[in-house]
A and B are shown apart, each in its own frame.
Chain A
């Protein structure tokens, strides 16, 4: 009935999937990001850890410009973001067209899933491919079914979000993010809103994506998981990167030890 779908091979690009340089972000008087620089190489997984309120979400949300940084440089998927700046160098605006194009390449999985309750599971997954990428319903459905299969939710394609468990909703949200075939996947504490017994089904999906070589940037409190899947680990403390490098390096770093294993 529907055309079969083969995922397109990921582009082999030399440039990092994300390169952020000295990002600064304020909320009112509160300086939430105090000059954060971060690169995510194509095909690698980076995890951001840190205590609550340290600016992890804000940093992640800068990567698809849900938050607009006040200063700094940002390049995403080989494209430098064209910020409008005032004479002092503060960022005051964005190029809307570029923004839309970019958001099709960087998709996000939220802590609260944020599925659209009035759309079916499949409807959630094909909405952006159809409206943003302009795919036909047929093509979007083929892609959507492929990724629903991938997260083990193909049999619930016609269900509505209210009828699914948290773990199932989050897996649908992951399929929704994958269906855009993004260059970079962002995860903001994808398991924090789940019942403990549902956490593993979602972590399992994310682990498979990591094994498959997808480029991902992940905020998580699951330390073991972060340690296992990450090529790069970033410890964010009060808006600054306090430690970064391989999982081993960061976990061994004395500044991070206190946070990772407070009892030790």
Chain B
């Protein structure tokens, strides 16, 4: 095992940049994706017919095709297509449309929107009707019932599933190394190409992923445990007896 390359400031720089990009991509995709997911769930449950159909089609396509194919589709397909649009190179969006981070985030946001959208839809459907009816009976408006009762309750019900989705998302991030975005895997690839060491860089980033996953899991568990009204039986730190 040769880890002497670790002392090289250039490689340190790559790894740090890769780590930061990974976390950024995770954060942006999680936030954007969950907002989209709520929209998708609402469209499916309460949207007018065409919107409900659109949401169903979106969910089916995103969940029915590989993430890597979607990433290539947006980056090489849509990205290159947009290059041909007259005037776009002069527009303010141009730097964004050349940025692999943009396409990575876009792909992941859509993916989280589809997968978590289904999770949230299921959770919304399993909120007991009586609770929402009580809201209406006390004069809350439809929007108030949604934002004060229905959504918070649904999220309470599916929080463990959603946090699981976020952990899966973290481990999808290395896919973006294929579109030349400097994530952890891309950093490891560069180090491998220059030092001819295959295992060491991979081992290092695997360790970083594992540590990040553990920290993320515990952090999200903390959120779960502190979610208002959580049942006493679920208050256990580790999923073991």
Contacts and interface: CB of A to CB of B under 8 A. Distances in A.
Interface string B203-237: 00000000000000000000000011111100000
Main secondary structure of the interface of B (DSSP, over half): helix
B149 A116 contact: yes
Contact of A180 (B138, B144, B229): B138
B131 interface: yes
A118 B153 contact: yes
Nearest to B127: A117
Given A110-B130, A116-B131, A131-B148, A162 B139 contact: no
Nearest to B151: A118
A128 B156 CA distance: 21
A153 B24 CA distance: 47
Given A110-B130, A114-B130, A118-B156, A162 B138 contact: no
B137 A112 contact: no
Contacts of A162: 229-232
A196 B144 CA distance: 36
Contact of B232 (A102, A128, A163): A163
Interface-central residue, B138, B139, B148, B231, by most chain A CB under 10 Å: B138
A13 interface: no
Interface in B13-35: none
Interface residues of B, number: 24
A77 interface: no
Nearest to A104: B139
B83 interface: no
Given A116-B131, A116-B149, A117-B131, A127 B228 contact: no
Interface residues of A, number: 30
B133 interface: yes
Contacts of A110: 130, 133-134
Interface of A: 64, 66, 99-104, 107-108, 110, 112, 114-120, 123, 127-128, 131-132, 160-163, 176, 180
16 contacts: A66-B133, A66-B136, A100-B141, A101-B139, A103-B136, A107-B137, A108-B134, A108-B138, A112-B128, A114-B130, A116-B149, A117-B156, A118-B156, A127-B140, A128-B139, A162-B230
Given A104-B138, A131-B148, A132-B138, 19 more contacts: A66-B133, A66-B136, A99-B139, A100-B141, A103-B136, A110-B134, A114-B133, A116-B134, A117-B131, A117-B156, A118-B152, A118-B156, A119-B228, A132-B139, A160-B230, A161-B229, A162-B229, A162-B231, A176-B138
Interface of B: 128, 130-131, 133-141, 144, 148-149, 152-153, 156, 227-232
